[in-house]
């Protein structure tokens, strides 16, 4: 890790009526500018075969403000509008690099409402934040202090579907430094019965946050279905459903943050399996449970925290038969149904299915890291192949889903 880490600190705040109106107007203008610029870029390519970038869309934004139809764009700060054009440029860069899909138009109902302010569009003095076009500072609830002696370089204001307002302050955090090296290594097998099973034999239970609040979610959704479309009561019921979902997501995120922080602090090398979560949630029998477990979020948190604190995350190929292989002698059983949680190998060793899988993942990850094979996530290195690649040639989608389901710890 070179230099200081830039870290976003997110806080909740409560705007006044004037501030809320100004921010909602800004969100709408940001969305409008993004959609107009996206349409211009699409038309330029489809009609003239021409690629236009940020500079061209920025000039178009100035021209739009001078028209009677789009004169309302001048009523809000110009910085969030310029920032959304930069975000569009980054989206196209990711698309051309085959890291993401083609940018899509933003909807008033389905997109995240937010605006980004740079240093020229806000004032930060003694812990008081005031945005452009506002006379009063934001009423922020400081749930944790900012690093001492730092000032935010970027401020992002957002409003979620539950009606909660958040401000995110991007700062350099001098407190994030590599931890002292340790000798501990661990293999991690994710599952549903137990969220994590470690190669040390420890099992971390699955809190199942979605199941805990399922009754409340059902009541809120039934109330929403009874309301007339377009009415104020339906909008209130929609917010009620969103609040239940937000509570579930917050609890899940808090739990995963605590678990990943502990694992990163205690271990130097962490070995995980490259599970295709986006494919696995297509299984209607497991989609809800997998989504509630938060496997993708767990991996994302583990990877960036390992980068912060000087740890290493090794990703083992998804086709490695971690459950079917004996961690003692290396023998591979022909079949291992999901209901079999313990099994005995021909060598006489009795295995717990999940602990055995975690130990095999650890051994495979250490072997691959020693031989120098490329085991980084496939989304980052699409051409890289793992040394443990065992994908059968010509495998059908049904076969792939069956294999993925078989490897899941139920």
Q: Which active-site residues does the annotation give?
A: 189, 273, 354
Q: Rounded to the nearest 5 degrees, what angle is found at the Cα of 30, between the Cα atoms of 25 and 31?
A: 100
- CA-to-CA distance for 375 and 368, rounded, in angstroms? 7
Q: 175-196 as b/e, with b when 16 or more CB fall inside 10 Å?
A: ebeeeeeeeebbbbbbbbebbb
Whether residue 375 contacts residue 158, with contact meaning beta carbons closer than 8 Å, is answered with no
Contact between residue 105 and residue 35 where contact means Cβ atoms under 8 Å apart: yes
Surface-to-core class of residue 126, CB atoms within 10 Å of its CB (0-12 exposed, 13-18 middle, 19+ buried)? exposed
User: Which of 134, 136, 51, 140 has its CA nearest to residue 93?
Assistant: 51
Residue with tokens 């579907």: 161
398 contact partners, CB below 8 Å, separation of at least 6: none
């Amino acid at each position: 890790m070179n230099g200081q880490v830039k870290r976003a600190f997110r806080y909740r705040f409560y705007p006044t009526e004037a501030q809320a109106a100004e921010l909602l107007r800004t969100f709408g203008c940001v969305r409008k500018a993004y959609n107009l610029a996206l349409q211009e870029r699409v038309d330029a390519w489809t009609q003239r075969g021409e690629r236009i970038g940020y500079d061209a869309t920025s000039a178009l934004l100035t021209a739009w403000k001078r028209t009677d139809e789009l004169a309302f764009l001048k009523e809000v700060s110009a910085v969030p509008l310029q920032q959304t054009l930069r975000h569009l440029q980054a989206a196209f860069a990711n698309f051309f690099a085959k890291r993401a899909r083609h940018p899509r138009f933003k909807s008033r109902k389905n997109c995240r409402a937010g605006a980004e302010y740079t240093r020229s569009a806000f004032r930060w003095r003694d812990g008081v934040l005031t945005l452009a076009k506002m006379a009063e500072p934001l009423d922020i609830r400081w749930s944790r202090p900012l690093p001492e002696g730092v000032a935010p370089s970027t401020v992002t204001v957002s409003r979620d579907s539950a009606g909660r307002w958040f401000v995110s302050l991007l700062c350099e955090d001098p407190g994030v430094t590599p931890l002292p090296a340790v000798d501990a290594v661990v293999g991690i097998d994710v599952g549903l019965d137990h969220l994590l099973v470690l190669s040390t034999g420890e099992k971390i239970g699955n809190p199942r946050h979605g199941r805990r609040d399922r009754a409340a979610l059902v009541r809120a959704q039934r109330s929403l279905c009874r309301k007339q479309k377009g009415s104020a009561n339906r909008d209130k019921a929609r917010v009620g459903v969103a609040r239940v979902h937000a509570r579930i997501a917050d609890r899940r995120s808090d739990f995963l943050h605590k678990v990943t922080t502990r694992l990163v602090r205690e271990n130097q090398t962490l070995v995980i399996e490259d599970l295709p979560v986006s494919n696995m949630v297509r299984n209607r029998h497991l989609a809800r449970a997998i989504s509630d477990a938060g496997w993708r979020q767990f991996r994302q948190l583990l990877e960036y925290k390992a980068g912060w604190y000087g740890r290493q995350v090794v990703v083992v190929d998804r086709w490695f038969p971690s459950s079917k292989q004996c961690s003692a002698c290396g023998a591979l059983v022909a079949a291992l149904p999901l209901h079999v949680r313990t099994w005995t190998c021909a060598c006489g060793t009795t295995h717990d299915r999940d602990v055995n899988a975690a130990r095999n993942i650890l051994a495979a990850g250490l072997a691959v890291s020693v031989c120098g094979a490329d085991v980084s996530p496939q989304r980052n290195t699409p051409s890289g192949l793992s040394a443990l690649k065992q994908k059968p040639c010509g495998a059908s989608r049904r076969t792939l889903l069956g294999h993925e389901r078989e490897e899941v710890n139920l």
